[in-house]
Amino acid sequence: MRIQSIDRAERWILRTTLTAAGCLAIGMLTMPFIVRAQAPTPTGSDAPYKRVYHPVSIIALAGGTVRHTHVEVGGFVTYIAHEDDGDLHIRLCTDPKIKVMDRNRCIVAECIPKMPCPAPEMGSRVTVHGISRFDKETNHLWGEVHPIEEGFW
């Protein structure tokens, strides 16, 4: 048999060739996954990356059951205030008749100075896109969309 008569130099060449071929084959198999894992690149000056916002209810966000970071929430504006830190607080509730903060049926949506937005009208129905979080500050303890990345009113 020819395989038994391979000398040391031939074995080294064969082993090196097979190792290189194996690495190349593994590289070819993993390359598509590496390419797919990269974030999409916008093309052209008018092609911003389009983020996906998950529709959630005020009840779910107020109750702390939302697991998405980027959310879309709709509700009625029942309170608007400009805070000392420059944020615009907009309380959104399930019912336009709610006059005080009901932590089970309301959330706070905030525009920040670096991403300003105009104040919506009291009582109007609005939808906001932004980052969901829970405000643990003393006297707050409510669900929030902070900051608002897009507002529709």
- Those residues with Cβ within 8 angstroms of residue 84's Cβ, 6 or more apart along the chain or in another chain: none
42 lies in some domain: no
Do 71 and 114 belong together in one domain? yes
- The boundaries of the domain holding residue 17 are 3-37
Q: Is 45 left (phi over 0), alpha (psi -120 to 50) or beta?
A: alpha
Do 81 and 135 belong together in one domain? yes
Nearest to 112 by CA among 128, 123, 127, 96: 128
pLDDT the model gives residue 4: 52
For the stretch 30-81, pLDDT in tens is 444 333 334 444 444 454 568 899 999 999 999 999 999 999 999 999 999 9
What pTM did the predictor assign?
0.68
Task: Identify the band that residue 138 occupies on the pLDDT scale cut at 50, 70 and 90.
Answer: confident
For the stretch 88-126, pLDDT in tens is 999 999 999 999 999 999 999 999 999 999 999 999 999
Is the CB of residue 71 less than 8 Å from the CB of residue 54? yes
Do 27 and 67 belong together in one domain? no
User: Alpha-carbon distance 72 to 69, whole Å?
Assistant: 10
Is the CB of residue 98 less than 8 Å from the CB of residue 105? yes
E-assigned strand segments in the chain: 54-55, 70-82, 88-93, 106-111, 125-135, 142-152
**How many domains are there within the chain?**
2
